Amino acid sequence: MSEVVTMNMIDTGYIFSADEFIEEDGSVTLSLNEIDLVENGKNKEDAVLNLAKSILEYAEDYYNDFSDWAVGDRKAHIPYVFKALIINSIEEIGGLITCHPGKI
C-alpha cells in the first residue's frame, strides 16, 4: 500500500467545512471552520476555489515553519495541514469543502 493511500485513510475523519454568506453585491464569502481562513468570490464556485487555494498556501507556510506554527491553538490544524499537503490540488481540496449557510 502506498504512503499516500495510507495517509488518506488516516485523515478521512478530517473534513473542510465552511459557512457561506451571500454579500449585498451577490458575491459569496466562505469562512472555513477548521482554520481561520475567509475568502470571497463572484459566485460560490469561485469562492470555493479561492478558499481551497488559501488552504493549500496556509498548509505550505505551516509546514515550512512547522516549529513556529504547531503550537497553541494552531496545533489543532496539523491534520488539516497534512491533508491539504497530501492532496496538493486546489481543485481536489475545493471538492472536499462542505458549505453550510452562515448565520449572522
Q: What are the sequence ranges of the domains in the chain?
A: 3-101
pLDDT digits (tens, 9 = 90+) for 21-47: 999 999 999 999 999 999 999 999 999
pLDDT at 1: 46
Architecture of domain 3-101: 2-Layer Sandwich (3.30)
Give the predicted TM-score (pTM) of the model.
0.88
Q: Over the chain, what is the mean pLDDT? A: 91
pLDDT digits (tens, 9 = 90+) for 52-99: 999 999 999 999 999 999 889 999 999 999 999 999 999 999 999 999
Cβ–Cβ < 8 Å for 32, 51: yes
Cβ–Cβ < 8 Å for 30, 20: yes
C-alpha cell at 37: 481562513
Question: 15-27: string of b/e by CB count within 10 Å (b at 16+)?
Answer: ebebbbbeeeeee
